[in-house]
Amino acid sequence: MNNIRIRLRLFTGKIPVLTVIICVIVLLFGKYRQMEYVRANETGVIEIENTEILPKQIFCRRNTNDSFPVRGVLLHEWIKDIRQNLAWAGMTERYIARMGLHEKVCQMMFVNPENLVLSHDVTKLDKEFKSALKKYPVGGIMLKSKNIQTKKQLKKLLKKMQDNSDITLFLAVDEEGGTVSRVMQKLGNIDGGDIGSMYDYRNLGGDIAYENARQIGDNLSYYGFNLDFAPVADVWSNPGNTVIGKRAYSNIYSEAAELIPYAVRGFHAGGVLCTLKHFPGHGNTKEDSHYGNAYVYETKDDLENNEFQSFRAGIDAGADFVMVGHMIVTDISNIPSDLSKEIVTDILRTELGFSGVIITDSLQMESITDTYSAGDAAIYAVAAGNDMILEPENLEQAVEGIKQAVKDQIIAEARINESVRRILVMKHTAIEKE
C-alpha cells in the first residue's frame, strides 16, 4: 500500500471529477456487495436472487426527475439510485427470459383500440376488449378522437386499460397543439386558454415552446396518458408541403433545432414521455404519405446538414421515442424509411446515437398498405430495427408474421429481446407527474 500513492486533485483538472465519482461508486459497491441482491452471472448478465418478479411493480412509472447528480443532490443518494436501477435492470433480464415469444412480440405492438376490438369504436372497456387484450398483451395503445367523449369517460377508459394489462401500457395520443389535437380540441385545456401551433409562436423563443409543451403534458397526464406523439421535429422547408405545414416548429432548420429541446423538457415537466417525428424529415416532401408514397430527394449530406439538426437537438435533450416516417429517401433506400435498415439502424440508431425507443409511423397508411401485407410490413419494420410497430393493418397477421420470421430464423430472437428490453426499461423509467 505504501507504494501506491493516489492524488485526487479535484480542482486542478488533473483527474476529472467524474473519474473520482466512478472510483467512489466502485468502492461502495465492493463494500456493500454482500448486502446487495444484485449479482452478475457467468455471462455477465445481472441477476436478482430471492426476488419475486411482479410486472406491474417492475414496469410501473416512477419519479425520475433527477436523472444525473446535480447541485443539491447528495452523492450517496445518487449512488443508491444507481444500485436500485441495476436491480431493476436485473429484474428486466430475468423477466424477459421468462417471457414467451408471443408475449414479447405483442409488447412491440402499439395499437389503436380498434386493432383489438374490430366490431365497434371503443369508448369503454367491455368483455370483448378485455379478452382481446389478454390474447394480445400489447405494449401500447393510442387513442383517437372517436375514443374520447368526456373528461370523466376518458379518465375511466385509460385507468381501466391500465388496470387490465399485466405490464404497464404506453398510453398515447397525437396532441401537438394547433390543428392536430385529439384531447384538448374536444375537452378543452384544464389550465384554461387555447394551445395553438408553435409555428405561430416561433419568434417568441424557447420559453414559449417549453410552456406550450408543459401545458400539453399537464393535460395528458391528468387523464392518464404517459406518452405524447409530439413534438413534430420536421421543418416546413417546402411551402408546398401540406402534411406538415404549421405542425412544424419552424420553416428554418436552425430555429427548429433551438426550439425542439425546450419542447422536450416541457413535455417531461408536464409528466409525459415525448416523441420526435417524423424521422428523417417530412417537411420537404410534395406528397403526403397518408395517401401514397412520399419522396425525399435530398442527399444524405443534405439531410445531415439540414433535417437532422432538430432531431439531433431533441435526442440530446432527452427525447424518449423517435417515430420514423414512410418517406422514401431516394439517395439512401428505395423503400419507406421505417422499413429501411439503413435509415433506422445505420443512421438513427448508430450515427445519431439514439438509444431510446424507435417506433414506425402508422402502418395503416396507404404508403404501406398499397405495397405490403400486414405481416410483411411488420417483418420489414422489425428487421430494420424498429422497437415498436404503430397501428398494424391487421394485428394478428403482424404478430404471427414476426413469430414465424423468428422460427424461420429470418429475424433472430435476440433482436426481439433487444427491443423488448428497451420497451420495458422505458416503461420503468417513465416520468411520474407529481
Q: What is the pLDDT of residue 132?
A: 97
Per the annotation, the verdict on 218 as an active-site residue is no
Per the annotation, the verdict on 290 as an active-site residue is yes
Cα 434 from Cα 432, distance rounded (Å): 6
Q: What is the pLDDT of residue 426?
A: 95
CA distances in angstroms from 247 to 174, 338, 357, listed in the order given: 11, 21, 22
Q: What is the pLDDT of residue 288?
A: 78
Q: What is the pLDDT of residue 291?
A: 80
Identify the CATH class of 101-429. alpha beta
Q: Which segments within 124-244 are labelled E, that is strand?
A: 140-142, 170-173, 175-177, 180-181, 227-228
- From the candidates 81, 102, 288, 290, give the one annotated as an active-site residue: 290
CA nearest neighbour of 277 among 235, 245, 237, 324: 324
Over residues 350-408, the pLDDT tens digits come to: 999 999 999 999 999 999 999 999 999 999 999 999 999 999 999 999 999 999 999 99
Secondary structure letter of residue 251 according to DSSP = S
Q: What is the pLDDT of residue 206?
A: 95
In b/e form, how buried is each residue of 297-316, taking b as 16+ CB within 10 angstroms?
ebebeebbebbbbbbbbbbe
CA nearest neighbour of 273 among 430, 147, 102: 430
Tallying the residues shown for the chain, one arrives at 434
Which grid cell sits at 309? 439538426
- Number of neighbouring beta carbons within 10 Å of residue 84: 12
Which grid cell sits at 197? 401551433
Q: What is the pLDDT of residue 35?
A: 32
- With a threshold of 0.85, does the pTM exceed it? no
Give the torsion sign (CA, 196, 226, 127, 151): negative
The distance of Cα 345 from the centroid of its chain, to the nearest Å, equals 15
Long-range Cβ contact pairs of 35-43 (< 8 A, separation 24 or more): 36/83, 36/87, 37/87, 38/83, 38/86, 38/87, 38/90
Beta-carbon contacts of residue 42 (< 8 Å; ≥ 6 apart): none
Q: What is the pLDDT of residue 282?
A: 94
Secondary structure letter of residue 169 according to DSSP = P
Q: What is the pLDDT of residue 194?
A: 80
Over residues 33-88, the pLDDT tens digits come to: 333 333 333 333 333 333 444 455 445 433 333 333 333 344 555 555 656 666 66
Q: For residues 29 and 21, is the Cβ–Cβ distance under 8 A? A: no
Name the residue ranges covered by the structural domains of the chain: 17-98, 101-429
Q: What is the pLDDT of residue 265?
A: 98
Give the residue ranges of the chain where pLDDT is below 70: 1-88, 430-434
- From the candidates 174, 228, 338, 361, give the one annotated as an active-site residue: 361
